[in-house]
């Protein structure tokens, strides 16, 4: 879920249902790739009875699938523009006199 949210955030936060499907597929394939990598690293040899282990050929295919999904989503980070309501909410002080921007940066109103 963390990786899925990371991708959604990188795409500006508000993604279409189509992109959500691609993101879910990408996250699933990232898990497959990590599992295969872990399995392959635990093998004593990638060759079994004179032939390359069957899963060795699958790993590049999964990697290519992930790359294609990422290309479809776009490789550039999208910066989401804030609404006027969000900007105003950040500048309004709360009961303690802090603004949302001060709270996010760790600044305090009392000095």
Q: Per residue in 82-92, pLDDT tens?
A: 777 877 777 77
| 91: CB partners within 8 A, 6+ apart | 99, 100, 101
Q: Dig out the tokens for 102 from the structure.
A: 């001060």
Q: Which of 11 and 27 is assigned the larger pLDDT?
A: 27
> Mind listing the pLDDT tens digit for each residue in 16-58?
889 899 999 999 999 999 999 999 899 888 888 888 888 888 9
| Rounded (10°) CA dihedral 101, 103, 107, 111 | 110
| Domain boundaries of the chain, sorted by first residue | 2-80, 81-111
| Coil vs helix vs strand at 75 | coil
- Summary count for the chain: helices (H), strands (E): 5, 2
Residue 103 reports pLDDT greater than 90: no
Amino acid 36: pLDDT: 93
State the pLDDT at residue 106.
54
Evaluated on CA atoms 30, 35, 39, 41, the torsion sign reads positive
pLDDT confidence of residue 1: 86
pLDDT in tens, 60-97: 999 999 999 999 988 777 676 777 787 777 777 766 66
Which residues on adjacent β-strands are paired with residue 51? 48
* CB 17 within 8 Å of CB 84: no
């Amino acid at each position: 879920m963390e990786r899925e949210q990371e991708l959604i955030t990188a795409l500006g936060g508000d993604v279409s249902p189509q992109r959500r499907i691609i993101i879910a597929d990408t996250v699933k394939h990232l898990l497959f790739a990590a599992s295969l990598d872990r399995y392959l690293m635990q093998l004593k040899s990638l060759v079994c009875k004179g032939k390359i282990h069957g899963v060795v050929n699958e790993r590049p295919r999964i990697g290519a699938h992930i790359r294609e999904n990422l290309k479809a989503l776009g490789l550039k980070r999208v910066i989401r523009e804030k609404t006027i309501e969000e900007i105003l909410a950040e500048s309004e002080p709360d009961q303690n006199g802090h603004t949302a921007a001060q709270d996010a940066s760790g600044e305090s109103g009392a000095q």
